[in-house]
Amino acid sequence: MRILVIGANGQLGSDIVKVLHSKEVVPLTHKDIEIAEEESVKEAIRIHNPQVVISTAAYHKVIDCERNELKSFEVNAIGAKNLANACQGKDAVLVYISTDYVFDGEKKTPYLESDPPGPLNTYGISKLAGEYYIRYIWPKHFIIRTSGLYGSARCRAKGGNFINLMFRLAQER
């Protein structure tokens, strides 16, 4: 089974590639595919012909999303739409990594899949829009809403992973 991992240089993507090392994995980075560009996505899916596409790619720095709403929606919403359309064209399962930012954070118990979303910022709204595109376009999908990733890989965009951030904040006190 050929598995395409988009965002393979990122914190989650690089760990997924490591875990799936024994499988037929094709890691793609931003240099290999631009998910906001429909033709780039179609071409990557056509060339690699995957049975599964795991998309960890996102424009996820919350402050930057507020400053550049257009880019946030191009990557997180239109990118998801492009992936869903391309996966549909190849009958590939799409695994889309979303976020808990689709919720408002007010609930005192863990969120359920059936809970209504209520994003409070551009990042959450753009990721929710991506989820809606995927649900509308292609039924062969899984949407995974993550929260506060941590692991051995660093998040270059945020200057480290969650543990690195906590150490850095503790040293600043």
Please tell me whether residue 110 adopts helix, strand or coil conformation: coil
Residue type, 106: E
Please tell me whether residue 31 adopts helix, strand or coil conformation: coil
**Cβ contacts of residue 108 below 8 Å, gap of 6+?**
none
Residues marked active site are found at 123
**28 backbone dihedrals φ, ψ, rounded to 5°:** -120, 135
8 within 8 A of 55, measured Cβ to Cβ: no
